[in-house]
């Protein structure tokens, strides 16, 4: 069984890299952020405040989240309906960061994530994969980049998805809020595992980041000395 963990803040390039690794090595890619986004979407749709721990704990008890793969792309379903696109709005991003603070929500998501890692070879991206979800992962990477660059990447992505009224400063503010919220929570915060390799992707093309990571995997280098 091969498990690869990729953590880091929003816009660091995790999903681009994880998708490429999944394609090249031929293993599945699990975007764990999509799961927290789906919980947030359900809360928003049912009028539950995304910071309300008690109501969120009740909401995740019987939530039905399913992951499927079509042409190697992850599709996500909430209570039977596909929500792959609907979870990509700014409201859902902030909501996901809020619901992710709540231990009952995390326990439920982590249970699903570990179940997938037990039954399949997987490259998983998120915030706590190397530190909490898969502490024994074969390979761990922590990607980061400057706030400006991450905001620019996310802004360009939203424009290319055809989202209207995208404002760069707002995107940057939202990312800064999530950085703080995700890193300061008590339970499984965003942090680099001591044995993860840190790669600052500021000004580096995805191809180069991918080369560094594939090199490590091909040479079976599991130590995480910082680059
Ligand atoms: O990766 P993303 O931007 O789609 O994640 C959305 C939010 O979900 C992020 O701000 C924090 C939370 N999250 C988390 O707490 N743990 C994970 N493993 C993945 C995401």
| Residue range 185-209: mean pLDDT, rounded | 97
166 and 47 Cβ atoms separated by less than 8 Å:
no
Kindly list the structural domains of the chain, giving each domain's residue range(s) and its CATH number in brackets, ordered by start. Answer: 3-214 (3.40.50.300)
Integer Cα distance of 77 and 35 in angstroms = 9
| pTM to 2 decimal places | 0.95
**What pLDDT score does 221 carry?**
76
Per residue, the 3-state secondary structure of the chain, as one string, reads: CCEEEEECCCCCCHHHHHHHHHHHHCCEEEECHHHHHHHHHHHHHCCCCCCCHHHHHHHHHCCCEEEEEECCEEEEEECCEECCCHHHCHHHHHHHHHHCCCHHHHHHHHHHHHHHHHHCCEEEEECCHHHHHCCCCCEEEEEECCHHHHHHHHHHHHHHCCCCCCCHHHHHHHHHHHHHHHHHCCCCCCCCCCCCEEEECCCCCHHHHHHHHHHHHHCCCCCCCCC
Q: Which residue has the tokens 């764990």?
A: 32
Question: Taking Cα atoms as reference points, which of 194, 7, 183, 17 lies closest to residue 100?
Answer: 183
**What pLDDT score does 224 carry?**
56
What tokens appear for 29 in the block?
């890619």
- The Å distance, Cα 8 to ligand 1 centre, comes to 9
Q: What is the pLDDT of residues 28-37, one digit of tens each?
A: 999 999 999 9
Integer Cα distance of 211 and 17 in angstroms = 10
| Residue range 187-206: mean pLDDT, rounded | 97
Question: Which ligand 1 atom is at minimum distance from the Cα of 128?
Answer: 18
37 CB under 6 A from ligand 1?
yes
Q: What is the pLDDT of residues 92-151, one digit of tens each?
A: 999 999 999 999 999 999 999 999 999 999 999 999 999 999 999 999 999 999 999 999
140 CB under 6 A from ligand 1?
no
Q: How crowded is residue 130: how many other Cβ atoms within 10 Å of its Cβ?
A: 29
35 CB under 6 A from ligand 1?
no
Pick from 42, 137, 182, 196 the residue to mutate for probing ligand 1's pocket: most ligand atoms within 8 Å of its CB. Answer: 182
**What pLDDT score does 72 carry?**
82
Integer Cα distance of 15 and 124 in angstroms = 9
Q: How confident is the model at residue 90 (pLDDT cuts 50, 70, 90)?
A: very high
**Residue 194 to residues 40, 161, 191: CA-CA distances in angstroms?**
30, 36, 9
**Residue 28 to residues 14, 114, 117: CA-CA distances in angstroms?**
14, 14, 10
């Amino acid at each position: 069984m091969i498990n690869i963990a990729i953590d880091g803040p929003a816009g660091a390039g995790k999903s681009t890299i994880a998708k490429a690794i999944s394609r090249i090595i031929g293993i599945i890619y699990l975007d764990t952020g999509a799961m927290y986004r789906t919980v947030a979407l359900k809360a928003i749709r049912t009028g539950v405040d995304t910071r309300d721990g008690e109501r969120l704990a009740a909401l995740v008890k019987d939530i039905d989240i399913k992951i499927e793969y079509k042409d190697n792309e992850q599709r996500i379903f909430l209570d039977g309906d596909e929500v792959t696109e609907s979870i990509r709005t700014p409201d859902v991003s902030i909501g996901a960061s809020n619901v992710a603070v709540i231990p009952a929500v995390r326990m439920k998501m982590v249970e699903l994530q570990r179940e997938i890692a037990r039954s399949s070879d997987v490259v998983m991206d998120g915030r706590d994969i190397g530190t909490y979800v898969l502490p024994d992962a074969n390979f761990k990477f922590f990607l980061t980049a400057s706030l400006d660059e991450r905001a620019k990447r996310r802004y360009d992505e939203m424009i290319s998805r055809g989202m209207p009224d995208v404002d760069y400063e707002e995107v940057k503010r939202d990312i800064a809020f999530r950085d703080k919220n995700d890193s300061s929570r008590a339970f499984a915060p965003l942090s680099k595992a001591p044995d993860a390799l840190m790669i600052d992707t500021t000004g580096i093309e995805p191809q180069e980041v991918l080369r560094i990571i594939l090199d490590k995997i091909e040479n079976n280098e599991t130590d995480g000395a910082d680059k």
